[in-house]
Amino acid sequence: MGDTFDVDLFVIGGGSGGVRAARISAGYGARVMLAEEYRVGGTCVIRGCVPKKLMVYAGRFADEFEDAAGFGWTLQPPRFDWSVLKARRDAEVTRLEGIYDANLIRAGVEIVPERAVIEDAHTVRLTGSGRCVRARVILVAVGARPVKEPAIPGTELAITSDGVFELESLPERILVIGGGYIAVEFAGVFASLGARTTLLHRGDRLLRGFDDEIRDALGEAYAKRMDLRLGRTVQRLERSGGAILAHLDDGARVEVDQVLVATGRRPYVAGLGLEAAGIALDGAGAIPVDAYSRTSVPSIYAVGDVTNRANLTPIAIREGHAFADTVFGGRPTCVDHRLIPTAVFSTPEIGVVGHNEDVARAACGEIDVYKAAFRPMKATLSGRDERTLMKVLVDRASDKVVGVHVFGHDAGEVIQAVGIAVTMGATKADFDRTVAVHPTAAEELVTMRVPAVTKTPVGVG
Ligand code: NDP
């Protein structure tokens, strides 16, 4: 065609969104180059979901060993070796990284192991070699980075989630600051592995945005597993011999060996050249895009956490795929961000699809709340003091299930399957006519007959 472009697509960032976009676009015949400054696989594979979940598995053996006694087992006191877990986890991450690399290469994508910045609407500069590449389309898929907020004195003594994967030993005592996904998941991991764990959060409940009763159930469970301090902030950190001393707002001090700050992540846009290209960021520092992931510059698109829509791996993958379908597949495709099943890998786990109770009330008016709170069967013999909680929220007018919340073992697995039904628009009657699988915990979801609460909100009806 004789255009002046070196490639059809230049992808900046080899994480979940960028890799999917690159592979699918190349499959449509596009000439694709992808730059990754660190390791292909991105946050999810290298220092997020995957290695985190492996650590969650590691932690859960502690419960299994304890629970086994109630089922007749006698075990030697088990011993945990962090260095074995680290080495095996890191090897698995490296294996996956290799698969990501190989898949890109097999698809015909040229991988450039360098940082890339935007020079203008069609030009990317590779900062290592200084080479400039002209691209018909640029896709920004650089993700987000953990931040240490607020900036308190001594914050340099703390690590973020990235640092967790570099720890050479299990800290004896750790303070985790934050109440979101990352704080909750890692506090659970460290506590299970045997670290004396303090989880400190400024709010009065963990996991803002989740259903309040699920949040309460998690708080109750975590208070038994660790030192949980809600409604507290840390004012400063200081060295104290080989330890770190955290000074809290109530005058208390907590002495620990590590501090993990997990107070959020921000789009990784610094120095990327977005201003030069004419792209202004939104209030959260993210790249604004339209429903097709296109920025205000027609030749530049963005997907994944850098756009701060729903910061989850499967969403980044979908956005990357939809981008490729739209731009190179001749099939304009939007991602529906409305109904997203999700899980928090705390122990016990949380799985959610749809609205929480407050949002459901606001969105639907009259809802019925079906609830089951029970001791899981395994706990009857293990003697473990824990509860499972399930909620099904139903729009009374249409009988549609608008929210399902599960707190208990395997909640992530359960919610993935329930998510299909809810995505299809299942009604409570559909749940009711589904035969129970017995004996399981999940059967409660199809055997709830009487609403627990049938409040009519003020001003409705
Ligand atoms: P979140 O936004 O989920 O949570 C941040 C937490 O830090 C909140 O509890 C927040 O409190 C608190 N916080 C924020 N600013 C401050 C401050 N200045 N001082 C004290 N506390 C503060 O971020 P995460 O880092 O936990 O996770 C980032 C994203 O990564 C998540 O939104 C999620 O999308 C994704 N993720 C998903 C996982 C999964 O699917 N299982 C696992 C891990 C991450 P408050 O609530 O009061 O604002």
- CA atoms within 13 A of residue 161's CA, in its CB half-sphere: 28
- Cα(353) to centroid of ligand 1, in Å? 19
pLDDT single digits (tens) 180-216: 999 999 999 999 999 999 999 999 999 999 999 999 9
Res. 60: pLDDT tops 60 = yes
- The whole-number pLDDT of residue 3 equals 64
> d(Cα 455, Cα 191) in Å, to the nearest integer?
39
Mean pLDDT in residue range 224-238: 98
Q: Model-level pTM?
A: 0.96
Sheet containing 401-408: give its strands across: 342-344, 349-354, 401-408, 388-395, 367-374
- The whole-number pLDDT of residue 273 equals 97
Please compute Rg for the chain using Cα positions. Answer: 24
pLDDT single digits (tens) 242-261: 999 999 999 999 999 999 99
Nearest to 187 by CA among 177, 296, 44: 177
- Return the bridge partners of 196, or none: 173
Mean pLDDT in residue range 228-232: 98
Which of 49, 162, 181 to mutate for ligand 1's pocket (most ligand atoms within 8 Å of CB)?
181
- Cα(161) to centroid of ligand 1, in Å? 11
- Cα(262) to centroid of ligand 1, in Å? 7
Helix runs in 226-347, H state only: 274-277, 313-327
Catalytic residues: 438
pLDDT single digits (tens) 12-31: 999 999 999 999 999 999 99
Contact indicator for 124, 116 with CB cutoff of 8 Å = yes
Smallest CA separation from ligand 1 atom 13, residue? 263
> d(Cα 63, Cα 224) in Å, to the nearest integer?
13
Q: 438: buried, middle or exposed (CB in 10 Å: 19+, 13-18, 0-12)?
A: exposed
- Cα(393) to centroid of ligand 1, in Å? 25
For the chain, domains (ranges, CATH) are 7-145+266-327 (3.50.50.60), 155-263 (3.50.50.60), 342-446 (3.30.390.30)
Work out the pLDDT band at 454, boundaries 50, 70, 90: very low
> d(Cα 441, Cα 176) in Å, to the nearest integer?
31
Average pLDDT over all residues of the chain: 96
Q: What percent of the chain has pLDDT over 90?
A: 97
Q: Which atom of ligand 1 is nearest to the CA of 263?
A: 7
Helix (H) or strand (E) holding 214: helix 212-225
- Cα(362) to centroid of ligand 1, in Å? 24
Which residue is associated with the tokens 């050249």?
A: 273
Strands (E), 141-231: 144-146, 173-177, 196-201, 227-230
Smallest CA separation from ligand 1 atom 47, residue? 203
Helix runs in 301-427, H state only: 313-327, 357-364, 377-382, 411-423
Nearest to 266 by CA among 284, 248, 289: 284
260: its two tokens = 């993990």
> d(Cα 180, Cα 370) in Å, to the nearest integer?
26
> d(Cα 132, Cα 182) in Å, to the nearest integer?
37
Ligand 1 pocket at CB < 6 A: 149-150, 178-183, 185, 201-203, 208, 262-265, 311-312, 342-345
Q: Could you tell me if residue 143 is left (phi over 0), alpha (psi between -120 and 50 degrees) or otherwise beta? A: left
Q: Could you tell me if residue 2 is left (phi over 0), alpha (psi between -120 and 50 degrees) or otherwise beta? A: left
pLDDT single digits (tens) 331-370: 999 999 999 999 999 999 999 999 999 999 999 989 999 9
Tell me the residue length of the chain.
461
> d(Cα 389, Cα 450) in Å, to the nearest integer?
16
Query: What does residue 209 show for φ and ψ, rounded to 5 degrees?
Result: 95, -20
Q: Could you tell me if residue 330 is left (phi over 0), alpha (psi between -120 and 50 degrees) or otherwise beta? A: left
216: its two tokens = 């309460």
Mean pLDDT in residue range 298-318: 98
> d(Cα 307, Cα 283) in Å, to the nearest integer?
11
pLDDT single digits (tens) 392-416: 999 999 999 999 999 999 999 999 9
Res. 453: pLDDT tops 70 = no
Contact indicator for 244, 238 with CB cutoff of 8 Å = yes
Strands (E), 50-164: 110-112, 116-120, 123-126, 132-140, 144-146
Res. 455: pLDDT tops 80 = no
pLDDT single digits (tens) 97-154: 999 999 999 999 999 999 999 999 999 999 999 999 999 999 999 999 999 999 999 9
- The whole-number pLDDT of residue 15 equals 98
Which residue is associated with the tokens 């472009």?
A: 5
> d(Cα 169, Cα 192) in Å, to the nearest integer?
15
Q: Which atom of ligand 1 is nearest to the CA of 262?
A: 25
Q: Cα–Cα distances in Å, from 60 out to 219, 337, 345?
A: 18, 32, 11
- The whole-number pLDDT of residue 160 equals 98
Neighbours of 328 (CB within 10 A): 21
Mean pLDDT in residue range 277-281: 96
Please give the torsion angle defined by the CA atoms of residues 307, 313, 314 and 316, in that order, rounded to the nearest 10 degrees: 30
Smallest CA separation from ligand 1 atom 18, residue? 150
